[in-house]
Structure 1
Amino acid sequence: MVPDIASHQPPPGTGHPVPPPQAAPSNREDLRAVMAARRDLGPDYEDALVDSFLDKLDVEIAARVRNEVAAQLAHQPPRGQSKHRDGAVGMAIGSLALGIPLTAIAAQTSGATGLLLAWGGIIAVNLAHALGRRHQR
């Protein structure tokens, strides 16, 4: 059984280091068994015994890494939500920033028709952006 190393992490913001976890009792027993087998079988089987032990150790390390990654990901907010909010705010600010000069130019050159066309275009772009975000979720 692989211990969950996420439980060995220091509490956030404490700054206190936590000593690394001790080798699992099964690993110590396995290593002792490999060494006893080497004594019994002789040096001809040494490479096979070492490879077998290292393979088991690789599996355990991979499981520990998966546990750690899962623990880290559990503490992070989903990535997509903040990006969508930032995009919506940027679109709103950009629309207002472009809307002011477009209003002045359209009203001066084309009157009410130009004003309606300018703001109709801004509204259409914002609507398309909102619908596009809705489909991405």
Structure 2
Amino acid sequence: MVTDIASQQPPAPGRPVPPPPAASSTREDLRAVMAARRDLGPDYEDALVDSFLDKLDVEIAARVRNEVAAQLHHQPPGNQPKQKDGAVGLALGSLGIGIPLTAIAAGAGHFPGLLLAWGGIVAVNFAYAISRRSQR
């Protein structure tokens, strides 16, 4: 029987976490292995140890899964890892495209072309800002 760690309350901050009590089935299994070793003799020792370790591995894996689930369940939303966003890349890209676009628009379309080019750049940045706000 594996203790369901996810249903337990986390310890107070700064308090040491006590180790979980060993499951009674694990103690009973170990006692049974020791008794079988006494009855069967040293010839079966390797097989008995392997069998016990296999059962122990299953129990440890279940405990680890429960602990991970408990940690994920109790993790406050503010501690979520921050995702990289493209705000810096968009700003640098806008400036990088804006320089040659300014030269082309000013040479070909004069002031109205310049307004149109920079209006498009501003519109793209504004649309990105609005989409980021709606994702939060």
Q: Could you state the TM-score of these two structures normalised by the residue count of structure 1? A: 0.66
Deviation, 1:22, is 1.8
- Which ranges in structure 2 are unaligned for 5 or more consecutive residues? none
Q: Deviations over 1:73-124 (max 9, x none)?
A: 22254968x53xx737x36x938x95xx87xx67976212211122213424
Contact kept, 8 Å, 1:8 with 1:18, in 2: the verdict is no
Query: How high is the sequence identity, in percent, across the aligned residues?
Result: 59
- CA-based RMSD of the aligned residues comes to 3.8
- Which ranges in structure 1 are unaligned for 5 or more consecutive residues? none
* Aligned pairs for 1:3-22 within 5 A: 3-6=3-6, 7=8, 9-11=10-12, 14-22=13-21
Q: Deviations over 1:10-59 (max 9, x none)?
A: 13xx2111321121111111100111111111111111111000000000
The count of corresponding residues between Structure 1 and Structure 2 is 121
Alignment partners' CA distance in 2, 1:108 and 1:9: 64
Q: Deviations over 1:60-83 (max 9, x none)?
A: 000111111111222254968x53
The structure with higher relative contact order (CA 8 Å, sep 6+) is 2
Q: Could you state the TM-score of these two structures normalised by the residue count of structure 2? A: 0.67
For the pair 1:94 / 2:91, whether they are aligned, the reply is yes
Contact kept, 8 Å, 2:106 with 2:113, in 1: the verdict is no
